[in-house]
Every structure is written in C-alpha cells, then in structure tokens.
A and B are shown apart, each in its own frame.
Chain A
Amino acid sequence: MSTKLNTGFFNKKILFQAAKESVIKLNPALQIKNPVIFIVAIGSVLTTIIVFSGIFRGSFSSFNLQIAVWLWFTVLFANFAEAVAEGRGKAQAESLRRNRTQTMARRIVGKQEVSVNATELKKGDIVRCRAGEVIPSDGEVIEGIASVDESAITGESAPVIRESGGDRSAVTGGTKVISDWILICITMETGNTFIDRMIALVEGAKRQKTPNEIALLMLLSGLTIIFLLVVVTLPAFFGYCLAASGLPMSQNLTIPVLIALLVCLIPTTIGGLLSAIGISGMDRLIQRNVIATSGRAIEAAGDVDVLLLDKTGTITLGNRMATDFIPVEGVKVEELANAAQLSSLSDETPEGRSIVILAKEKFNIRGREVHQLNATFIPFTAQSRMSGVDLKTDDNIIHRIRKGSSEAIRTFIQNNNGFYPQEIQDIVSELARQGATPLVVAEDNKVMGVIHLKDIVKGGIKHRFAELRKMGIKTIMITGDNPLTAAAIAAEAGVDDFMAEARPEDKLRRIRDEQAKGHLVGMIGDGTNDAPALAQADVGLAMNTGTQAAREAGNMVDLDSNPTKLIEVVEVGKQLLMTRGSLTTFSIANDVAKYFAIIPAIALSLYSGENGSGPLSALNIMNLASPQSAILSAVIFNAVIIVLLIPLALKGVRYKPVSASTALTRNLLIFGLGGIIAPFIGIKLIDILINL
C-alpha cells in the first residue's frame, strides 16, 4: 500500500481537492472544533459586514476590504492545511476500498456449504475458502493450510502462509487465497474488520483529539482569551489617551483594526496547523506500514522509555549461524569440516545451510549430491535430538555421521562403544559461556569436534541502542535462552538489560513492574500468549503475521511484521510531539514583532502635537511605511506563514536521536529565536512589497 501511494505531499490532485475542501470547511459546525481559527472566522465575518455596510453608506474603505480579504485567507489557509493532511489519507483509503469488493462466502452449515453474502456473516460462523477466493471477513484458520496474498493491506505481493494452530492463524478479510483451502472461523463482522478500521483510521473519520492535543488546545484557547481581553479593553485606554491628547473620540480604534490586532496576537499559526500535525503523524506511521489504532498510541510512542525487544528477529538475525569448526586433538580441521558438511547437506534448516556455507567458504568443500554419495539423510527428531547421514561406501560399510547437542552425541558415542573425551566437554561449556550454541560432530564411535553456532547480532543494532540510550530509552532483551547465553548476547548487542528463559507471563510481569516505577513501556509481539503483555504495554506493536488475538491486543499493527519497526514507531511519536512544540513556540514568539508593527501604527497620532507623528512612533523600529501598511503587513504575514509552514507540519521537524537537552537547544534556536526574528524580516519585506 505504502509503495503504491507514497507520492509526496504535493500531488496535484490532493492539492486541488484540498483547496475545495478548505472552502467546505468554512461551515461553522466544522470550524468551531478549532477555537482559535473560529475566532478568526468571526473576525472575518465582522470585518466583511463592516466593509459592505460602508459601501451602502457610500464610504468604501479599501483598507478594511484588504484586512477582510486577508482574514478570510487566514481561515482558508488553516482549513487548507488540514485538508492537505487529510487528503493523503483519503487517497490511501480509496485504494483500500478498491480491494474490498462484494464477496460471497461459503458458510458451513452442518456438513453443507451454503453460499451467502459476506455481509451476512456473523461472529463464530465457519466458512471455507478455496484457491482464488477472497477471504470474506477477519477470522482464525481452524483447519488447513494455504498461501494467501495479503498485498491488499501490506502492499507486499509475495504470498504468506496461513495455517491452523500456532502463531500464523489470523486471516484478514479482503485478502486472497492463492493455493489450497482453509476453514475459517469468523471473528469480526463486516463493517468492523481490519480493513474497515484501517480505512476509517487513514481517512481521519474516527480521528479523535489526542490527550496532548487537547492540552495544547487548552493552552491556545487560554492565550486567545487573554489576547481577546487585551484587544477588547484597548479602546478604553485609547479613548483615555485621545482625551488626554485633546483629540476627538472619532479617532478611536476601528473594529477592523482591533480584529487585525487580535488575529495577529492569538496563536493562529499553531492553531491552524494543529490538526494537520496530528493527521500527518498518523500518516508517517502508515508510510512505514504501521497502522495505529489511535492517535493516542502514537503520542504514547514518543513517551516510551522502556522497550521490550525479542531477541530473535529484532536483535539477532532470525537464526544461528556456523562460524567455526573446532576439532578434537588428532582430527584435522578439514576432516571435521568435511564431516560436518556431509551431515548437513540435506539439512534444510538455516543452521544446516550455514554449516555448508561455512565449509565452502573456509575449506572450499563443494556441495555434493546426496544420492550420488549413496547416502541416507537422517533428519532431526525431538527424540534423537541430532541429525546426520548414513553413508554407504562401495564395500557396503555404513558410516554414520551425526551432529547434535553434546548430550545426544555422548549417548550416540556410548551406544557405539566409543569414547567421549573431556576435551569436548570443555569446549562445549566454553562456547555456551560465550553465548553460542555448540553442535558436536561424531563419525561412528569417534568424536570429531565441535561446530560453533552463533547468534549473529544484526549489523548496526548496537549503534541503534546507543542512540536510544542517548534519547533516554532503556532496552530490554527478551529471550528463551539460558541466562549465560542471554548475558553474552546482551553484552554484544549493547542492550541495557535482558530477561532470560522468559515466558509470556514473565513479560507481562516485567511490563507491570516497569509501569509501577513510572515508565512507559513499548513492546512487540505476535503470538496469542503475547496478547496480555501487548494489551498491558503502553505501546503494543503486533505483527501482522501474528494471531488475531495479538492483533486485537496491541494498539498498533506492523504490516511488514518487522520487529525493528518498534524503534521507528518511537521516533515517529517523538517527532510528532516535537513538531507540535516547535510550532507552538514559533507561533508565540511571533507576537513580539507583531506588537512592534501594530502598536506604533495605531498610536501614531497620540500626543502628537502639530507634526502628526506622536512619541510612540519611536517604537516603529521596523520603519514601516504607514500605519495602514504596517497593520496590513502584519496580517498578511500572519496568514502567509501558515501556508509556508504546511510542509513542515506534514513532514515534521527534522529528527535526530539526541538527548533531550541537545534537541531542546536546537529547536529553541530555530523555532524560538527564529520565531522572534523571522516576523521582523517578513513584515518588513511585505511592507516594502505592498508599498512598491
């Protein structure tokens, strides 16, 4: 999905649609949701009325008209920002809808299949899906195995396996069975399926204001009321001054000027961009193929300071790899490698393959065909706990080569009346201590040596954890390994802490402990037994490949099922909050310059005496041409800055994994100091332009 739709912000279609939307959004019922911009809208209406009533009375004021026009633009620009942000989600929702065609389902009633409309399915119904059919609704596979094309939701065209039992049993309505057949127990009714919810989320239809957004809106409304007070009381003070300077009361401030001042002072910039920032946060997650069930979850992701990470897949590559052959005394390393390679030729496990690769790389032992060797492959079983080959030589003697855990091989050797040397025992315990898995290789009654199987820590993950530490986030590795192995891998990967021999209930307990200490915990999971922990975590990222239970319990779903994604999710959350804070700071800092533009302009005539230029013109440090152009420039700047900041609001401020203090210093310099300086330059430039 993301691959298809990642077409950038300024897709013409989206912009055109957004322009239309921004007019539709003038509807007061929609406008009132944003109190700051609502005030501007009221101001625009008032000013417009004044302009028109002026025309009817025969006194047209082009200044008032210009103010009215720019006030309307301020409102439209704010609406436009929101519409652009929503537009991208709408485009995504549309493509999702296209995949959700009317489907028929084969419901199992007794022993018969009844063809029903997918919309009639109820929770608990059982349906059969065959190759080429679309799965009618979300459910759990209860029988069979099939490959399913899930590109409708993941954008990934390679089919995935769905089978009953285990952790890969969830199927999503709207995806397509490619081969075989499955029996599905429906868990969601139409209208509430995963795709339905995704559509609602990306469209923003179900978007509710997040807690932090509400708090910020509270602050912005408070500031708006304070500035409203300032502006409402100003004519009284001004009237006093007029009387004191011996000027007529008719020179008191006009309503359009007061509205202009008000609109410049209230935080319109952040007020206009606030919802765009929130929507784009959701959007950035979707671009990373993560679906959050609420905006609240994204915010929580920014707050997370403890991450529980599964070792396998997140910290280490999925599988162990052979990295070394260690022969016993009297055996050449080539002989060991040869035996190891033979025993693994037919071993399709990743470990087995890695042994073959290592033998080839190190000793140039090439692959041989098993049947040419007259060999029989002995697969791994839970009982024998070893695998290998039986080689029949030309003189009909059978050589048995085995590899397996040290206990299994010891039994094997002893059964063949061989000798199991102490030396092997020492190597085995040494390797285990290093966090590796030793595999012992034996031929008939003789121990050949040990294969060093190692967990390979993902490249760059140590650096990633160091970055997280800098951001104040603690990483905890979860593994089923024994404490010795776990400690070694934890040290190599650079995690802060680890949980060895962890069971799902241990995860849940650990999350509760951390939360009790005041931490916010993020975790990933896929299995049904992860569900309680996913639900308990502040950010629970479920794998799309996981079970339905896990997907329900988490508050985010990763469509790529990539466990490293959790780190990116945290970054998106942080970036969202940073963008909000930075633009708020910018918006408030802007007020300084606007005061210096407007106050000298409106107070020019006070105590002026003969020359018409009163003492307060000393505050006109920007040297703006005239009172009218000063006020107009401030209003224009105020409107235009919203449009200029839309890209920033949508992309988010630049994010780097640094400590809070560094991030703060950087953002303060750009948005705080910049917020004070920028409008001085902007207003001056606009003033020059409109006086050309």
Chain B
Amino acid sequence: MTAQELIQVLLFFGVLICMTPLLGNYMYKVFSGEKHFMSYVLGWLEKLTYKFSGIQADEESNWKSYTFGLLLFNFIGFVFLFLMQRIQSFLPLNPAHLPNVSWQLSFNTAISFMTNTNWQSYAGETTLSYFVQMTGLAVQNFVSAASGIAVLLALVRGLSRKTTEKIGNFWTDLTRTTVYILLPLSVLFAIVLVGQGVVQNFKPYESIHTLSGAQQIIPMGPAASQIAIKQLGTNGGGFFNANSAHPFENPTPFSNFLEMLFLLLIPAALTYTYGKMVGSIRQGWTIFSVMLILLIAGLCISLYAEYSANPVFGHLRLMEGKETRFGIVNSVLWSTSTTAASNGSVNAMQDSLTPIAGMIAMINLMLGEIIFGGVGSGLYGMVVFIIITVFIAGLMVGRTPEYLGKKIEAFEVQMAIIAILLPNVVIQLFSAWASVSSFGLSGLNNAGPHGLSEILYAYSSAAGNNGSAFAGLNANTVFYNLTLGFGMLIGRFGVIIPVMAIAGSMGTKKTTPMSAGTFRTDNGLFIGLLIAVILIIGGLTHFPAISLGPLVEHLLMNAGMTF
C-alpha cells in the first residue's frame, strides 16, 4: 500500500466523520419537524404532498397502524413494479425495444427494489427500459430507503418517549425523509456526477466501430439520477450490469470517492440523529464507533489478505476482476463499505477477491447488515443487537437490564431474538437447500469451496437486504429468483415487524432515571461489549459454514490450489 493510498483511506474516513454531525443535525431537524433552511425551499412540496394524499401530518398512531401503513405502502410499490416489468414493451421510453420481463424475474426484481435490497438477477441495459428504471426502480430506491428510516424513527420515538402508545405518523416520516433528505441530496449528487461524466440522457443505444474495427453497442440512458439515489439510499442496484465498475456509472477517481462516501453517508449520519433524538449525543457516537471499528477491522483484514504474498501467482497482487483504474485499495474499500452498509453496488467483482477478503464481505452481510447498514435498517438492526447485549451484560450489574432508561423484558428479548433469527433462517436453510439440490448447483460457475461461497453469499446478501452478488452465480433461474425473493422479504420484514413491536412496547414503558447503578451504554466498555456480542452471536453461528467456504479456500490457496 502506498502513502497516497493510505492518505486516500484516511481522507475518506475523515470526511465521513466530519459529515456525520453536520448531516445528522440537519436530519434531526427534519424528523422532529423543526424549521430548517430547506423548509423554505421545499416546504411547498411537503404541504402539497399532504394535501394531495389527505395526510394529517400531526396525527400520530400506535405501532400497529404505523406498521400497517408501511406494509401497505410497500405492497402497493411491489405490485406496481411487478406489473410495470410485465408490460414493459407496451410502455414508452424503450428505445432498445426490450421485451416484457418473465414473471419470476419480475417477482424477484420487484421484491428486491421494494425491500431496499437491489439484488439484480438481470443486466440492466439488456433487460429494463428507461421507463421502468426511472419510474419503477428509481422511485423504489427513494421510498424503500425512506421506509427504512421511518422504521428507525418509530423505534427512536418508542425509546425516547414515556408511557405513550403513539410513535409517529408513517406518512409524515416517509414524506419528510423523501422531500428534505433524499431528494435534495440526490439532485445535488446527480449534478456532480454528470459533471464527472456520468451519462444522463434518453438516447437510444449507440452503435460504434471500435479501433480494432469491431462493432460495439454502447448503452445510454438516465444513469446519473439513478446512481445518486442508488448510493445514497443504500440501494446499490446499478443502472448497467457492471454497476459502478462501468465507466458511465463511475468515470473518475473523484466520482469513485464520492460514490463510496455517499454509500455510507446517511447510515453514518443517522447515528448522530439517533443520539440527538434519544437525548444523548454520546449514545449516537457510541454506536458510530462500534460501526466504524468493525468496518475498519474488516477493511484491514481484507487489505492484508489482498496484499499478502500469494503462493499461486507469486507475489503479484491479484488484479483479475478488480477495479483496474482505481487500484486494489479502492476496490477493497468499496467492497468492504458496500457490504457493511447494505448497499451492494460494486466497483470490482466480489467473486475475484481473495478468499479472506471475500469472507470479510460475507461476514459483513451475515452479521445482519448493521455495520452502518442500510439507511435506517442498519441502525435499527444495531439496536436489536444492543438490546441483546444490554440484556445479557446488563444483568451483571445486578439490575433488570435497561437501555435508555427502558426496562428490557421478555417481550423485547423475544422480538429481538426473532429479528436476529429470521435472517439466519434464510441464510442457513436456503443455502443448505441450494447446496444439495440440482437446481441450486446448476447455477454455479465455480467448483469447490468457492462454489459454496457463491451460494452462501447470495442468500446472505438477500437476507441482509444488501443486493451485491459474488457474481459467478447464475441466479436468473426460477429456483434462485423465488428463493432469493422470499429471502429478501423475510430479511426485510422479518426484522421490521419485530422492531416495530419493540418500538411500541418501549413507548408504553416508564423511563428510569440514570444513576450510578445504571448500566452505561455510552462508554468504551460498552463498545467492546457490543462488538463481542455481535461477533459471537451474529458471527459465530456462521462459523461452520464459513470454514467450509472461504476459510478452507484460503487454506487451500496457501497450499497452492485455486477454484
């Protein structure tokens, strides 16, 4: 690793840390309904939305109707997106004359974008028209991200309020998030991207003659607008198949830097917002520290693996499938960030990482996408782990465990354990099924442990709502489209519903005032403790599978075998 590369990594984290309180504070104002500078610019849009949809912005509801609103909204989004793909050929803005999408792929893609996963069993430029990409996928990119934030907001209100059933208004939260946070940031970001050379047009694909005389079709389209929200909303679904490895999606080192940064920006800033909303910014920074430490630890291990001497190719770095323009560091920094945050966009192929770096990416997914994680979902997933940690360790101070003054009792523990269990069910059961069934095995491009890694990665990605793929797996089959589709559904709502139940139950509780006898959740000791619980409970359950996949591959590679 050169000094330049080190400086870039430091700059990346430096900017991320600096942006966290700035954006976090702004989001706090937006969510709490305070006046802020954007309310002068876009206030009309918020009001218009309420008026148009008949929303009573200040009318709050209990957790059940909040959840019902969210589920209904997401279901309608799914139906629209599904139908739109099925009748794509009759819709406008389809210069490449792409045909209707098959039912199983439409099902998979609709769920994928509705759940903020953006798993893509298809290649964008050869499957979906501009119209579907813009009015279908891009819209879901916004609202699935806003849905994640809405769940988080409900949870925060449950934690910070006392003895009330009211945890907010889903429609207001959805509107404010979209209008004041996602929309302005995306517009700004898209304009910068266009400046860097990302395409944004409705032109038909261009056919050109290359220097060697061959004919090549260059896909076009409104890419910049979609890439902005793809990164910001931790969606990750590329406009083109190659995602951000495509020069039209990610043309320059600067655009690369920004895209990496924007992928972590909102999840990171939300920790600060969280701290402010629960009344202790320290609590926010504590969570931020846990996420940052886990991210950097993963990054270091991955970089070490990538730069280690390789007995197969000698001492050369493995460049196959990496982002050759920006180098190993940028490939690994992206791969670690994109799997930590539940983004899933890529600028290099995860399949081509060294086994250990691939393992880190996989562990990031398997931990439940809580290292920054998806917008909103990463933080509420983290709170689930906090509840488990506080429950186990909190007993050790001799009191009924409490978090932010709220007692953690059987119901919360039950819900938290369900939220951890369900994504695990997806990963374990579906991967096991795929690894013994002929329709599962037929999708593999690689043999040996690497093939097992591909399967594990796919279901971990679905369960964690990440959406990145280990590539190498041909997932556009009925088996994979359906199992991955259901995996994404369970991974999303199997966490959201228990979390909402926790929010509702926490809200009705009294808040115990802090004292010297309180188990502190905002100091270094707790950071260490939380990391340990995440690794032992979240990670250790996957140890057998990981040792049969990437770990054994790494050991075999050191013995001179590759797959």
Which residues of A come within 8 Å of B, CB atoms? 211-212, 214-216, 218-219, 221-223, 225-227, 229-230, 232-234, 236-241, 244, 299, 302-303, 305, 469-474, 516-520, 573-575, 577-578, 580-582, 584-585, 588-589, 591-592, 595, 599, 603, 606-607, 614-616, 618-619, 655, 659-661, 663-665, 667-668, 671-672
- Residues of chain A lying within 8 A (CB to CB) of residue B540: 591-592, 595
Name the one of A237, A595, A664 contacting B525, with C-beta atoms under 8 angstroms.
Answer: A664
* Residue B192 is within 8 A (CB to CB) of chain A in the complex: no
A591 to chain B, nearest CB (A): 6
A244 touches B447 (CB 8 A): yes
B421 touches A233 (CB 8 A): no
- Residues of chain A lying within 8 A (CB to CB) of residue B420: 222, 226
A227 to chain B, nearest CB (A): 7
A305 touches B552 (CB 8 A): no
B391 touches A219 (CB 8 A): yes
A471 touches B552 (CB 8 A): no
A473 touches B517 (CB 8 A): yes
- Residues of chain A lying within 8 A (CB to CB) of residue B414: 215, 218, 222
Which B residue's beta carbon lies closest to that of A471?
A: B517
A215 touches B398 (CB 8 A): no
- Residues of chain A lying within 8 A (CB to CB) of residue B429: 229, 233
Which B residue's beta carbon lies closest to that of A238?
A: B548
With known contacts A577-B399, A578-B397, A616-B551, A237–B409 Cβ distance under 8 A:
no
Name the one of A226, A305, A573, A581 contacting B512, with C-beta atoms under 8 angstroms.
Answer: A305
- Residues of chain B lying within 8 A (CB to CB) of residue A618: 555
With known contacts A229-B429, A518-B405, A665-B525, A237–B545 Cβ distance under 8 A:
yes
With known contacts A229-B424, A603-B547, A661–B520 Cβ distance under 8 A:
yes
B363 to chain A, nearest CB (A): 15
Interface size on B, residues (CB 8 A): 69
A233 touches B431 (CB 8 A): yes
With known contacts A211-B409, A240-B452, A603-B548, A474–B515 Cβ distance under 8 A:
yes
* Residue B532 is within 8 A (CB to CB) of chain A in the complex: yes
B393 touches A230 (CB 8 A): no
* Residue B425 is within 8 A (CB to CB) of chain A in the complex: yes
B139 to chain A, nearest CB (A): 36
Name the one of A229, A588, A614, A665 contacting B537, with C-beta atoms under 8 angstroms.
Answer: A588
15 A-B residue contacts at CB 8 Å? A212-B395, A216-B391, A223-B537, A229-B541, A232-B428, A303-B399, A518-B162, A518-B510, A581-B395, A582-B395, A585-B396, A588-B536, A663-B396, A664-B397, A672-B532
Which residues of B come within 8 Å of A, CB atoms? 162, 388, 391-400, 405, 408-410, 412-414, 417-418, 420-421, 424-425, 428-429, 431-433, 435-436, 447-449, 451-452, 510-513, 515-520, 523, 525, 529, 532, 536-537, 540-545, 547-549, 551-552, 555-556, 558-559, 561
- Residues of chain B lying within 8 A (CB to CB) of residue A216: 391, 395, 413
- Residues of chain B lying within 8 A (CB to CB) of residue A668: 393, 396, 525, 529
A588 touches B518 (CB 8 A): no
With known contacts A239-B436, A661-B520, A664-B393, A229–B448 Cβ distance under 8 A:
no
- Residues of chain B lying within 8 A (CB to CB) of residue A661: 520, 523, 525
- Give CA–CA (A258, B179) in the complex, Å: 53
A40 to chain B, nearest CB (A): 19
A671 touches B537 (CB 8 A): no
With known contacts A241-B548, A665-B525, A580–B395 Cβ distance under 8 A:
yes
- Give CA–CA (A230, B542) in the complex, Å: 7
Name the one of A470, A520, A588, A616 contacting B392, with C-beta atoms under 8 angstroms.
Answer: A588
- Residues of chain A lying within 8 A (CB to CB) of residue B431: 233, 236-237
Which B residue's beta carbon lies closest to that of A236?
A: B432
- Residues of chain A lying within 8 A (CB to CB) of residue B393: 581, 585, 664, 668
- Residues of chain A lying within 8 A (CB to CB) of residue B433: 236
- Give CA–CA (A655, B397) in the complex, Å: 10
A305 touches B395 (CB 8 A): no
- Give CA–CA (A621, B546) in the complex, Å: 17
A472 touches B518 (CB 8 A): yes
B32 to chain A, nearest CB (A): 23
Which B residue's beta carbon lies closest to that of A228?
A: B428
- Give CA–CA (A474, B544) in the complex, Å: 49
A577 touches B398 (CB 8 A): yes
- Give CA–CA (A47, B492) in the complex, Å: 38
Of residues A226, A471, A665, A667, which shows the largest number of chain B Cβ atoms within 10 Å of its Cβ? A226
Name the one of A212, A222, A573, A574 contacting B421, with C-beta atoms under 8 angstroms.
Answer: A222
With known contacts A230-B541, A518-B405, A603–B398 Cβ distance under 8 A:
no
- Residues of chain A lying within 8 A (CB to CB) of residue B421: 222, 225-226
Name the one of B400, B428, B543 contacting A212, with C-beta atoms under 8 angstroms.
Answer: B400
Name the one of A236, A244, A660 contacting B448, with C-beta atoms under 8 angstroms.
Answer: A244
- Residues of chain A lying within 8 A (CB to CB) of residue B551: 616, 619
Name the one of B436, B555, B556 contacting A236, with C-beta atoms under 8 angstroms.
Answer: B436
B525 touches A599 (CB 8 A): no
B552 touches A616 (CB 8 A): yes
Name the one of A219, A574, A592 contacting B399, with C-beta atoms under 8 angstroms.
Answer: A574
- Residues of chain A lying within 8 A (CB to CB) of residue B418: 222
- Residues of chain A lying within 8 A (CB to CB) of residue B520: 660-661
- Residues of chain A lying within 8 A (CB to CB) of residue B435: 236-237, 239-240
Which B residue's beta carbon lies closest to that of A227?
A: B541
B366 to chain A, nearest CB (A): 12
- Give CA–CA (A251, B559) in the complex, Å: 23
A25 to chain B, nearest CB (A): 24
A607 touches B413 (CB 8 A): no
Name the one of A226, A474, A607 contacting B541, with C-beta atoms under 8 angstroms.
Answer: A226
Name the one of A229, A232, A607 contacting B556, with C-beta atoms under 8 angstroms.
Answer: A607
A557 to chain B, nearest CB (A): 23
A519 touches B395 (CB 8 A): no
Name the one of A212, A305, A660 contacting B397, with C-beta atoms under 8 angstroms.
Answer: A660
Of residues B420, B431, B511, B513, which shows the largest number of chain A Cβ atoms within 10 Å of its Cβ? B513
B392 touches A219 (CB 8 A): yes
A419 to chain B, nearest CB (A): 56
- Residues of chain B lying within 8 A (CB to CB) of residue A581: 392-397
Of residues B398, B512, B518, which shows the largest number of chain A Cβ atoms within 10 Å of its Cβ? B398
B497 to chain A, nearest CB (A): 16
A519 touches B398 (CB 8 A): no
- Give CA–CA (A577, B532) in the complex, Å: 21
Which A residue's beta carbon lies closest to that of B563?
A: A244
Which B residue's beta carbon lies closest to that of A520?
A: B512
- Give CA–CA (A221, B516) in the complex, Å: 32
Which B residue's beta carbon lies closest to that of A607?
A: B556
- Residues of chain B lying within 8 A (CB to CB) of residue A585: 392-393, 396
With known contacts A222-B417, A606-B552, A573–B392 Cβ distance under 8 A:
no
- Give CA–CA (A215, B397) in the complex, Å: 17
With known contacts A305-B517, A592-B540, A603–B552 Cβ distance under 8 A:
yes
- Give CA–CA (A470, B397) in the complex, Å: 12
With known contacts A230-B428, A578-B397, A606–B544 Cβ distance under 8 A:
no
Q: A660-B520, A664-B519, A671-B396 are in contact. List 8 more A-B contacts (CB 8 A).
A: A211-B409, A230-B545, A237-B435, A518-B162, A606-B552, A619-B547, A664-B396, A665-B525
